[in-house]
Amino acid sequence: MIASRRDNIGPAIVTILLLALAGIACWFLVAPPLSAVAGPRYDITRMVLYYSTLPRLATALIAGAALALSGALLQQVLRNPLADPTTLGISAGANLALVVASLFVPGLLGAGRDFIALSGSAAAALIVVGLGARRGFSPYSLVLSGLVLSLWCGGLAAILTYLNESSLASLFIWGAGSLAQQSWVIPLSLLWRLALVAIVCALVIRPLSLLDLGESGSAALGVRLVRLRFIVIAAAVALAAFVTSAVGVIGFIGLVAPTLARLAGARRPGQLIFWSPLIGASLLLLADSVLQLVAGELGDFLPTGAVTAIFGSPLLLALLPLLKIRHRIQPAPVRQRQRGLTTTAVMALAATCLLVVLAAGIFLGRDATEGWHLVSGDLAGDILAIRIPKVVAALASGAMLAVAGTILQRLTSNEMASPEVLGISAGATFGVAIALIAVSPGITGQFTFAAVGAIGVLAIIVVSSRRSSFAPERVLLAGISLSAMVDAVVGVLSSSGDPRAAILMRWMSGSTYLVDATTARIEAVAAVLLLSVAFLARRWLDLLPLGPAPAAAIGVPLAKSRFALFGLAGLMTAAATLTVGPLSFVGLMGPHLAREAGLRRALPQMAGAAVIGGSLMVAADFVGRTIVSPYQIPAGLVSALIGAPFLMLMLRRKA
């Protein structure tokens, strides 16, 4: 009992401190209209206070509590300190469902907005939890599955927005989490929904506490694990869906609020479920009130969800060294090579497929008048001068992404690791966003800014991971937090209404439309140099998956090798992102297909992944150029939209 009371002291102090800061900020918002004397603007000032400012503050409190409670429930039932509606793709599923409905069936929004969001969230949760169940609910498999789904949902939402640019600004503002209110309808509706879920949480606290005994121990005491997981996950999904339906996607709160509660001393499930909503409500209220004070009249146009991620992700990054993660990455089981094609035969088949795809990408075209045709005639030279650089850039980028994915998967012993997890693609996107919005340079300037952004993110990851000797889970955590922050910055810039946001969106979609001969040469040289270095590191990549102790016993310098390999993967990801954008699953598909073909050792797998990844990106560029000719769908989005479902089906079959 004494220990329990002591455990509550820290969370109580954190909650009181956050509430005090939020209260001060709220007072500066509320005091001027309250003290206003009668005059021409007296009624307007009071109406804004009663029907806009106060409902917005109430919405911030309720939404923050709901998201934090959702994250706490997911972390407890899945035994995963990184689980929250964002990392598991639940919010992205709701967002995609609402975007699809708003574009194609807007009549449904008025009749059943919550139902649409619940459907999207439930579908995302079923996919991620289904994959996790087949892998024993491994924490990092769950999180990375959620990231894959989030990227796919984000990619599909991006292409819908890209094809409907008239709705671009409004979709960005809403999707990034806007708390602006015009009445008390939304906060009151959220309040009674949160109250219903809170009752469910009170009933499952004791069974959740028994999960600390392990699956066998809790089952022996009468806990029905399947039923408990279903109830708790359903409650968490409902909370995230309600918030997304009301105010859009607000990330970070569901992950950081339980983390703060745990670091402050809340160790038991009951304590975590009690204190996390209070901390989450205080965090979101503080962030939104400060945003309104700083932004002034622009506060209604800046998405609060993006702003919370901008300031919250560095906080999470700073807290990572203090967080004791009990769940470690499980080494991948050693599987015997199945009888089939030899390595030489597999590589020959992959090379043949690459040649076919290259020939199609260069010489085959389609238009509205002639249909499918080969390049010929007087314009053949001009057409090839345009196509060849795009094909070369796509080939080089796909190969680098695939090899970067191979390195990450072998380092983390996780087949769902990908270059996107490092946050390097997000860093390059951030650099291009700053360049377009603030400086407006040409192609060379955008290339430079993107490189600076990617290298900057890589440097932060390296510095934050040095204490743990570049342990894979720390690097992944740093990448997740930085990706959230950078994506939030890009969301704020894109929601500003600036016409250059459309250019940024086009670049993020992974279009090779603006690739010229100079860019293609730079990509080709970078690919040759970086891939050569990766092939030279094949011994490290063969030994590190054995585990830290065996690898060190053989003579592998753990810190040095991890630093070099993570850095190499980051550089390859950055170089590829500069050309094809951040939305791609080639880094996941290439290594996986190479492994499925029987290429197990590091060098054959990297070589096979490079050929497969290059082929996939060239094929995606070809499909995007021809499928809706004369219009073009960006290659990055094509590869993401086709690759993610294919990869999930393959992982489900293998699990």
Domain 2-319, CATH: 1.10.3470.10
- pLDDT value of residue 158: 64
- pLDDT value of residue 58: 92
For 258-278, what is the mean pLDDT? 87
Q: What is the b/e burial string over 372-393, where b = at least 16 CB atoms within 10 angstroms of the residue's CB?
A: eeeeeeeeeeeeeeebebbbbb
DSSP string, 100-155: HHHHH-THHHHHHHHHHHHHHHHHHHHHHHHHHHHTTT-HHHHHHHHHHHHHHHHH
For 279-299, what is the mean pLDDT? 83
- Please write the tens of the pLDDT for every residue from 372-412: 778 877 777 888 888 899 999 999 999 999 999 899 888 87
- Please write the tens of the pLDDT for every residue from 569-594: 888 887 888 788 776 778 878 888 88
**Strands 364-367 vs 371-374: parallel, antiparallel or unpaired:** antiparallel
- pLDDT value of residue 19: 92
Tokens 């709701």 locate to: 94
Alpha-carbon distance 337 to 343, whole Å? 11
For 100-121, what is the mean pLDDT? 79
Q: Which of 318, 641, 295, 310 is nearest to 474 (CA)?
A: 318
For 23-43, what is the mean pLDDT? 74
Q: How far is CA 259 from CA 42, 83, 256, 575, 640, in A?
A: 44, 10, 5, 34, 31
Query: 329 pLDDT band (50/70/90 cuts)?
Result: very low
Domain 343-654 in the same topology as domain 2-319: yes
- pLDDT value of residue 356: 92
Give me the chain's average pLDDT, please.
Answer: 78
Q: Which of 306, 305, 315, 314 is nearest to 59 (CA)?
A: 305
Q: Which CATH number fits domain 343-654: 1.20.1260.10, 3.40.640.10, 3.40.50.300, 1.10.3470.10?
A: 1.10.3470.10
For 239-259, what is the mean pLDDT? 84
- pLDDT value of residue 231: 87
Alpha-carbon distance 30 to 26, whole Å? 6
- pLDDT value of residue 333: 45
Helix (H) or strand (E) holding 637: helix 635-654
Q: Structural domain boundaries of the chain?
A: 2-319, 343-654
Coil vs helix vs strand at 366: strand
pLDDT higher than threshold 60 for residue 486: yes
For 354-369, what is the mean pLDDT? 85
Tokens of 293: 């004070």
pLDDT higher than threshold 50 for residue 337: no
Query: 21 pLDDT band (50/70/90 cuts)?
Result: very high
Query: 18 pLDDT band (50/70/90 cuts)?
Result: very high
Q: Are 400 and 463 in contact (CB under 8 A)?
A: no
Q: Are 53 and 45 in contact (CB under 8 A)?
A: no
Q: Of 192 and 492, which is predicted with more confidence?
A: 192
Least confident of 277-286, 349-358, 361-370, 484-493: 484-493
Alpha-carbon distance 303 to 488, whole Å? 9
- pLDDT value of residue 441: 65
- pLDDT value of residue 458: 73
Tokens of 615: 């082929």
Question: Measured in whole angstroms, how far is the alpha carbon of residue 292 from the centre of its chain?
Answer: 27
- pLDDT value of residue 69: 93
DSSP string, 424-483: HHHHHHHHHHHIIIII---HHHHHHHHHHHHHHHHHHHHHHHTTTTT-HHHHHHHHHHHH
- pLDDT value of residue 59: 92
- Please write the tens of the pLDDT for every residue from 121-130: 888 888 888 8
- Please write the tens of the pLDDT for every residue from 149-200: 876 787 677 667 666 655 545 555 666 677 878 889 889 988 998 888 888 8
